[in-house]
Chain A
């Protein structure tokens, strides 16, 4: 009788990883790195930072694997964890990389017109609908961008977003409204 090697289910991988099996965790990494990186990249607009944050998210996931109880999709749990990593990094880590005595790098918003396109600045296809939208999202002011990425790209609900960002639901609503208006204006211009 021929042996059949079915690839392990995600459930099995998680269970093995929880017991310390790092190759099982690697498989989980391969399956989910795209989703985690995408959200980090859209939130922080910088490929290097997104890579570092993705790394941190997976390391943290390893540490907290025991807390994942199988409620809800693993990918969702991972992405939620990644968003927390991004938010925490913003508050505590973002300015450390500065070299003493040099002017600080431009922060979110107006002054950054050239770099605002972020990781999508280099892509040639300006007519490409998808790139246009990515660029327009990258150019949004921070609060509006966070909410748009979390709600309209990743499907989080108002309350969840309010919890993650530490703001009132009303703020989430108004930022979302703002984001959509700005995006529509930007995109309609093209």
Chain B
């Protein structure tokens, strides 16, 4: 539903832009600037509308290329205190933010910070730490940065490669992590969270109304802590897990393929809880909802 809406917005923007275009022959300014930069420096990129593409390379230089939208004041590229700042500057009083699409090719060992408002952000080939923010833009991260910190308001977040440490937060965007492992902390208000991964060490997931799904496995002494208000929690795990599981819901239901039915109804009106230990119980699983349903399934 939301993708449809955001596509409509994009189309509306394009229609608006194409209507305005004939009046401004030099609407789009092309940019292509390169400068040398160290292999492991810090690069900060910000754009308001359009897109930011970040590509890690093996060259010791930063190249910024793309098109700036009409009315953009300038593309500021400045080195400050050892950090490189790349900023698409829009004038203070402009009414519309025309799209600018920039690609930044930088040394793959860099630490990258990318910020967009309604700009999509895509990062690939970077091995340093990556931090990305967008308001309504989507954030997509490919390959394997050392660590990842992403925050969006309504944009979706997709992490496609293996990343050892992920923190992802969104208000209404969906969060999808395909090769989860290591440390993962994800939070959303209404966005859904969909996680797949093997040997996840520590997982923390939290939503209000979004659903949370995890398919995969944990390390032996891992820990998994998931909390949702009205969203449903679904865990799909291998048959032989050795875990200490506690699941509780105030008014939702709990279904589990594991453990005998040790459902406990407390003195509170409809609260249910389920707890059991399998094998060594080294893996700690804690699931809690207010009204969402909890389901623990065997792969």
A and B touch in the complex (CB under 8 A): yes
Chain A interface (Cβ < 8 Å from any Cβ of B)? 91-92, 95, 100-101, 103-104, 106-107, 110-111
Interface contact B82-A104, CB-CB below 8 Å = no
Determine the distance from Cα of A176 to Cα of B24 in the docked complex, in whole angstroms.
Answer: 63
Determine the distance from Cα of A95 to Cα of B204 in the docked complex, in whole angstroms.
Answer: 16
Chain B residues whose CB sits within 8 angstroms of the CB of A92 once the complex forms = 167, 185, 204
Chain B residues whose CB sits within 8 angstroms of the CB of A91 once the complex forms = 165, 183
Interface contact A104-B167, CB-CB below 8 Å = no
Chain A residues whose CB sits within 8 angstroms of the CB of B82 once the complex forms = 110-111
Determine the distance from Cα of A100 to Cα of B113 in the docked complex, in whole angstroms.
Answer: 12
Interface contact B83-A101, CB-CB below 8 Å = no
Determine the distance from Cα of A95 to Cα of B149 in the docked complex, in whole angstroms.
Answer: 9
Chain B residues whose CB sits within 8 angstroms of the CB of A100 once the complex forms = 115, 133, 135, 151
Chain B residues whose CB sits within 8 angstroms of the CB of A111 once the complex forms = 42, 81-83
Q: Which residue of B lies closest to A112 (CB)?
A: B81
Interface contact A101-B46, CB-CB below 8 Å = yes
Determine the distance from Cα of A103 to Cα of B44 in the docked complex, in whole angstroms.
Answer: 7
Chain B residues whose CB sits within 8 angstroms of the CB of A103 once the complex forms = 44, 83, 85, 113
Within 8 A of A (CB), among B180-195: 183, 185
Interface contact B44-A95, CB-CB below 8 Å = no
Nearest Cβ distance between residue A94 and chain B, in whole angstroms? 10
Determine the distance from Cα of A106 to Cα of B85 in the docked complex, in whole angstroms.
Answer: 13
Determine the distance from Cα of A85 to Cα of B117 in the docked complex, in whole angstroms.
Answer: 34
Chain A residues whose CB sits within 8 angstroms of the CB of B183 once the complex forms = 91
Given contacts A92-B185, A111-B81, contact A101 B131 (CB under 8 A): no
Interface contact A104-B131, CB-CB below 8 Å = yes
Q: Which residue of A lies closest to B80 (CB)?
A: A103
Chain B interface (Cβ < 8 Å from any Cβ of A)? 42, 44, 46, 81-83, 85, 111, 113, 115, 117, 131, 133, 135, 149, 151, 165, 167, 183, 185, 204
The residue that A101 contacts in the complex, of B42, B85, B115, B165, with Cβ under 8 A, is B115
Q: Which residue of A lies closest to B169 (CB)?
A: A96
Nearest Cβ distance between residue B296 and chain A, in whole angstroms? 25
Indicate the member of A91, A104, A107 with the most B CB atoms within 10 Å: A104
Chain A residues whose CB sits within 8 angstroms of the CB of B204 once the complex forms = 92
Instruction: List 17 contacting pairs A-B, 8 Å CB cutoff, sorted by A.
Output: A91-B165, A91-B183, A95-B131, A95-B149, A100-B115, A100-B133, A100-B135, A100-B151, A101-B46, A101-B133, A103-B83, A103-B113, A104-B113, A104-B131, A111-B42, A111-B81, A111-B82
Chain B residues whose CB sits within 8 angstroms of the CB of A107 once the complex forms = 111
Chain B residues whose CB sits within 8 angstroms of the CB of A106 once the complex forms = 81, 83
Chain A residues whose CB sits within 8 angstroms of the CB of B85 once the complex forms = 103
Closest 7 CB pairs of A and B: A103-B44, A111-B82, A101-B115, A104-B113, A95-B149, A111-B81, A92-B185
Indicate the member of A92, A103, A106, A110 with the most B CB atoms within 10 Å: A103
Q: Which residue of A lies closest to B40 (CB)?
A: A110
Nearest Cβ distance between residue B260 and chain A, in whole angstroms? 29
Given contact pairs A95-B131, A101-B115, a sample of 19 additional A-B residue pairs in the complex whose CB atoms are under 8 Å apart: A91-B165, A91-B183, A92-B185, A92-B204, A95-B149, A95-B167, A100-B133, A100-B135, A101-B46, A101-B117, A101-B133, A103-B85, A104-B44, A104-B113, A104-B131, A106-B81, A107-B111, A110-B82, A111-B83
Chain A residues whose CB sits within 8 angstroms of the CB of B117 once the complex forms = 101
Nearest Cβ distance between residue A183 and chain B, in whole angstroms? 23
Nearest Cβ distance between residue B80 and chain A, in whole angstroms? 9
Q: Which residue of A lies closest to B81 (CB)?
A: A111
Nearest Cβ distance between residue A87 and chain B, in whole angstroms? 12
Chain A residues whose CB sits within 8 angstroms of the CB of B83 once the complex forms = 103, 106, 111
Determine the distance from Cα of A74 to Cα of B117 in the docked complex, in whole angstroms.
Answer: 50
Determine the distance from Cα of A91 to Cα of B165 in the docked complex, in whole angstroms.
Answer: 9
Determine the distance from Cα of A92 to Cα of B115 in the docked complex, in whole angstroms.
Answer: 20
Chain A residues whose CB sits within 8 angstroms of the CB of B113 once the complex forms = 103-104
Chain A residues whose CB sits within 8 angstroms of the CB of B185 once the complex forms = 92
Determine the distance from Cα of A111 to Cα of B46 in the docked complex, in whole angstroms.
Answer: 20
Chain A residues whose CB sits within 8 angstroms of the CB of B167 once the complex forms = 92, 95
Nearest Cβ distance between residue B196 and chain A, in whole angstroms? 22
Determine the distance from Cα of A107 to Cα of B204 in the docked complex, in whole angstroms.
Answer: 24
Chain A residues whose CB sits within 8 angstroms of the CB of B44 once the complex forms = 103-104
Determine the distance from Cα of A82 to Cα of B235 in the docked complex, in whole angstroms.
Answer: 33
Nearest Cβ distance between residue B131 and chain A, in whole angstroms? 6
